[in-house]
Amino acid sequence: MNEAQTRHDLIDPALHEAGWNTLHARIATEQQVAPGRVESDCKSHKPEKADYVLMYGNRRITVVEAKSDEKSVDAGEAQARHYAEALGVRFAFSTNGKAVRSFDLVAGTTSDVEFLHFPTPGELWDLLERTSEEESLLEKICREIPFLAKTRYYQERAVEAVIKAIGRGKKNALITLATGTGKTFISYQLVKKFVEAKWNRKSIGLRKPRVLFLADRNILADQAWESFVFAPNECYRLNAASDSPPMDRTVYFTLYQTLLSMGSQSRNRSGKQSCRTKTSAFCNSEDGLLWFAIRKGIGT
């Protein structure tokens, strides 16, 4: 049989039999890993796709690479390992419909699995729970908040890495990405998860954070302002140092230059509140300010 027929007749039924066909333990097929090389016609060709990505809740658990039953079970090993590393999962499987080979990328082990007893969701999850670092409360809560549709795998991994770092006590996280790879989109996903989790620097689940999105150019600040999907009264675009930003918003957007100008102005002759005072009130909220800074070529 060819690969498609092998998947239909042998591999799909075995995965379903093992329990990978429920709402909480599901199969994502043809998961794109890379769009493929851009050729002379300016189009991408031969995208890299994982045959199966097995999901437990909103978490990717393992990759399964399928090959025709006429090929050796080893034929899919290189692809299975490659896709697992790219997607950030620990386990990978290669199968030809007759045999299954398992790879643990953390332990560095390889083993053969009896095909009719493909690992169940519970078995793989229990193994992860026993042998992996314990997740922080923030990680557990944010994992239940789904990503937006069409989020690329490396964007998901960037978001997960920042949440892991913050959840385990780090105060800062740096993300470095090439131009056009979605720094603003990643920032929005992070803000969305932090806001829905009601995480701030002092507590979780009680009060939404206050977020400051900084950019070095108006076009970047405007792009974020337009693409962050929150209620109108939750966002504020700070355009000039003379602005008096309301203190009840969740997300603020401005430029480095504007923020510095706010801090440098002194009390005016009329005796009204100075911009320096406004900056202090703005930046020193009760639970601390969550900063996102975007610069051309580098996102932090």
Domain spans of the chain? 3-131, 137-299
Cα–Cα distance measured from residue 29 to residue 245, given in angstroms and rounded to the nearest whole number: 47
Q: Does the structure show a pLDDT above 70 at 116?
A: no
Q: Which two tokens stand for residue 150?
A: 């069409």
DSSP, collapsed to helix, strand or coil, labels residue 111 as strand
pLDDT of residue 264: 59
Average pLDDT on 49-67 reads 91
pLDDT of residue 240: 76
pLDDT of residue 266: 43
Condensed to tens digits (0 to 9), the pLDDT of residues 223-277 reads: 888 888 887 788 888 887 667 778 888 888 888 888 777 655 544 444 454 444 4
Task: Express as a percent the part of the chain with pLDDT over 90.
Answer: 26
Cα–Cα distance measured from residue 266 to residue 209, given in angstroms and rounded to the nearest whole number: 29
* Sequence-separated (6 or more) residues with CB below 8 Å from residue 43: none
pLDDT of residue 269: 41
Task: At 39, give phi and psi (nearest 5°).
Answer: -90, -175
- Cα–Cα distance list, 19 to 75, 79, 94, 233 (Å): 25, 24, 18, 45
Average pLDDT on 18-24 reads 87
Average pLDDT on 270-285 reads 49
Whether the Cβ atoms of residue 13 and residue 43 lie closer than 8 Å to each other: no
Q: Find the distance separating the first CA and the last CA of the chain, reported in whole Å.
A: 50
Whether the Cβ atoms of residue 195 and residue 231 lie closer than 8 Å to each other: no
Mean pLDDT of the chain: 82
Topology of domain 137-299, CATH? Rossmann fold (3.40.50)
Cα–Cα distance measured from residue 31 to residue 272, given in angstroms and rounded to the nearest whole number: 58
Q: Which two tokens stand for residue 252?
A: 């603020």
Beta strand extents in the chain (DSSP E only)? 25-34, 37-38, 44-45, 48-56, 59-66, 91-95, 100-104, 109-113, 210-215, 235-237, 251-255, 289-295, 298-299
Q: Does the structure show a pLDDT above 90 at 143?
A: no
Q: Which amino acid is at 6?
A: T
Q: Does the structure show a pLDDT above 60 at 288?
A: no
The CATH architecture of the domain made up of 3-131 is: Alpha-Beta Complex (3.90)
Average pLDDT on 29-52 reads 78
Greatest alpha-carbon pair distance for the chain in Å reads 86
What number of H helices and E strands is found in the chain?
Answer: 10, 13
* Sequence-separated (6 or more) residues with CB below 8 Å from residue 299: 175, 176, 177, 183, 184, 186, 187, 293
Condensed to tens digits (0 to 9), the pLDDT of residues 75-111 reads: 999 999 999 998 989 999 999 988 999 999 988 999 9
**pLDDT class for 163, splitting at 50, 70, 90?**
very high
Q: Does the structure show a pLDDT above 70 at 285?
A: no
Cα–Cα distance measured from residue 55 to residue 53, given in angstroms and rounded to the nearest whole number: 6
Cα–Cα distance measured from residue 290 to residue 166, given in angstroms and rounded to the nearest whole number: 11
Q: What is the DSSP letter of 167?
A: H
Q: Is the pTM of this model over 0.85?
A: no
Cα–Cα distance measured from residue 15 to residue 132, given in angstroms and rounded to the nearest whole number: 24
**pLDDT class for 159, splitting at 50, 70, 90?**
very high
Q: What is the DSSP letter of 146?
A: P
Q: Does the structure show a pLDDT above 80 at 295?
A: no
